[in-house]
Amino acid sequence: MKVVILGSGSPLPDPDRAGPSTLIRTDAGDLLFDCGRGVLMRAAAAGSAAGALRALFVTHLHSDHICDLNDIVTSRWVTSFQPNPLTVVGPVGTSELVRATEAMLAPDIGYRLAHHRDLTWPPSTVATEVEDGVVLDEGGVRVTAAPTDHAPVRPTVGYRIEEGEHSVVIAGDTVPCAGLDNLCNGADLLIHTVIRRDLIEMVGLPRLSDVLDYHSSVEDAAATAARGGVRTLVLTHLVPAPAPGTDHQWLELASNHFDGEVVLATDLATLDLPR
Does 237 sit near Zn ion (CB under 5 A)? no
Smaller CB separation from Zn ion, 163 or 173: 173
Does 62 sit near Zn ion (CB under 5 A)? yes
Residue among 91, 97, 100, 123 at smallest CA distance from 110: 123
Residues 6+ apart with CB under 8 A from 13: 37
Distance CA 173, CA 152 (A): 12
The piece of 97-105, 111-119, 126-134, 165-173 that touches Zn ion (CB under 5 A) is 165-173
The distance of closest approach from Cβ of residue 62 to Zn ion in the complex, given in angstroms and rounded to an integer, is 3
Does 76 sit near Zn ion (CB under 5 A)? no
The distance of closest approach from Cβ of residue 129 to Zn ion in the complex, given in angstroms and rounded to an integer, is 18
If residue 4 lies in a helix (H) or strand (E), which one and from where to where?
A: strand 2-7
Distance CA 201, CA 196 (A): 9
The piece of 59-67, 89-97, 127-135, 203-211 that touches Zn ion (CB under 5 A) is 59-67
Residue in 162, 173, 220, 267 binding Zn ion, rule: CB under 5 A? 173
Does 30 sit near Zn ion (CB under 5 A)? no
Q: Specify whether 198 is catalytic.
A: no
Smaller CB separation from Zn ion, 160 or 237: 237
Smaller CB separation from Zn ion, 62 or 192: 62
Q: Where are the beta strands (DSSP E) in 109-260?
A: 125-129, 133-138, 141-147, 157-163, 166-172, 189-195, 232-239
Among 64, 149, 173, 220, which one carries the catalytic annotation? Answer: 64
The string of DSSP letters for 36-56 reads -TTHHHHHHHTT--GGGEEEE
Smaller CB separation from Zn ion, 56 or 109: 56
Distance CA 8, CA 20 (A): 6
Residue among 232, 271, 228, 267 at smallest CA distance from 251: 232
The answer to whether the beta carbons of residues 50 and 21 sit under 8 Å apart is no
Positions that interact with Zn ion (CB under 5 A): 62, 173
Catalytic residue positions, numbered:
64
